Structure 1
Amino acid sequence: MAQRIRDDYRSLTGPDKAAALLLALGEEYAAKLFEHMDDEEIKELSQVMASLGTVSSQVIERIFVEFAEQMSSTGSLVGSYDSTERLLMKVLDKDKVQEIMEDIRGPAGRTMWDKLSNVNESVLANYLKNEYPQTVAVIFSKIKAEHAARVLAMLPESFAMEVVMRMLRMEAVQKEVLDDIERTLRTEFMTNLAKTSRRDAHEMMAEIFNFLDRNTENRFLAALEERNRDSAEKIKALMFTFDDLGKLDPAGVQALLRAVEKDKLATALKGASDDLKDLFFTNMSERAGKILREDMAAMGPIRVKDVDESQMYMVQLAKDLAARGEIVISEGKGEDELVY
């Protein structure tokens, strides 16, 4: 019985394409890819490969073209704590991986003292108030003076004065003592801090929803409201959308205008509300505003997908600028209340 030839590209399923791609790559490269799959994935692909039959060269070429296009269009990889931890577990022992991941999840800094200087002062004060005054004095001598001052102010007054007196009388600290304190901080304080500093689930979902296109976002939120209205409301409250750029002050709008790609700006504003358009045009020079209006008019009708992508780009750009302290994004609930 003659084996059928697969020459209809449209009839191929996702697993069919993956199986054909692996077979075309050859044993050496396919084996390397299999190393990164779990048992169920290998089993499914093996079954498809065994029953694939003959695939025409034209179809194979189309599969490679589609694969290359999809890889180039995404332009990014998704890295997370979990994926990093899984990778490290393949090459390092469990204790070493745990130590590395605790450092990553904990506060930023090259040394323990740098990390400690980035711990919230109230959290650090709450921990140090149970330590010996001499130990706290040593720690204060190693972290940034500005941070030490804020922590000192939060300690019980009598205990704080004991720490001050120890610092005034403190001589050179032996390396062994410093090493012992650093080791204790790492094993007792930083480990617990890393375990309790996982991000709130609603915050993570809000960030994910921010990157969905408008239709998908509305569909998911509507479905979530039916199942869990409270969670849906929390996520919506935490989401930062394109319309939230209307909360920027003039300096923030101008900083964003300096950083944004002009074609992205024109596309994003094409689908913006009149109020948001006015905010951006008001913070531009008359000449720049005229050029932008002409560019927007020359575009003619544009796809909603393109508008969504440009608006998401501007939202992410605003977040990046806020994270660097170049702009302030207010929630609009009070003068001192900020998103970052």
Structure 2
Amino acid sequence: MDGIRKTAIFLLTLKGKISGEIFKRLSEPDQEKVLVEIASPAAISPDERAGVMDDFLGVMESEGIYASGGLAEAEALLEQAFGSKRAARDMTDRLQTVIDQTPFSMFNDSEGEEVYSFLSTENPQTIALVLSYLPAEKAAQVLELFPARKQNQIAARVASMATIAPEAVEEVEGTLKEKFQGASQGGQNQTDGPVILAKIMTKVAKERQDSVLESLEQRNPEAVEKIRENMFTFEDVTMIDDMAFRGDIGQLPCIQTDLALALKGSSDAVKDKFLTNMPEKMKNRVEGTMNDLPPQRGSDVAAAQRVILDEIRKLEEAGKIKISLEQEEMYG
């Protein structure tokens, strides 16, 4: 069946304005050919009509239309086109079957950050295989979240990927599907979400962090607060430049009032970061206060640490210091 007859059958199957809109987008020569085909007395068999609609479903699936709009959107469009809710439902059911048969379809409804979180511990070859089956936009989102070195490894494997035996794809998919279902059924509880997202957010550019958190804050400010707490913990202060400690951080009032308690139970690296960047007199006073403090409740220590972290975050927001949670690669 040639393209002109397929187009004629497709337009005859559609109802309402959509048929006219599609017709208007054809070139004038094609419009004339399609009109001739529509006007011809040749009957359209049920098999021909079914074949054309199967081709249409195949195009929808291959173009990733379901990924950007969702099956509900597709069903609404089809109902408008065919003038029948039942026909639209039948079409979307068939489309869902096609989608479900696509390798790694378990990621269809997952955000890029969720896919990254799931794949982050896999080897580059496996990640490359999965990304090659995802819609390009989602694959790019996932790839962007990996550290630069691993991004390069994954991209190299995607670029060199040849035809892979279906059996090999099925084996990888089966292994990942078992892990995916296990994580969905018995894995993380609800409060783990902000912790997981915090880890992911430390991997993305500062501008994107701000954009995501700003959007999320309108819907769930409590989650955003927990994300911020987990994105930048008290142990992370060791990654701040020494000059910031000798300058703006050292002048914070909370350093005088809360630091001794905050350092109780902290690692030696954190203590050294604060104490070695202080004037000798202040250092002696903080160490003396720490030694004089009786055993403290963990919640009180955590509260003191949060006070200091909040003030440090304000310095960063004001552009006075820079916090980099990703260790940059060094080249000799």
TM-score range normalised by the length of the shorter chain = 0.3 to 0.5
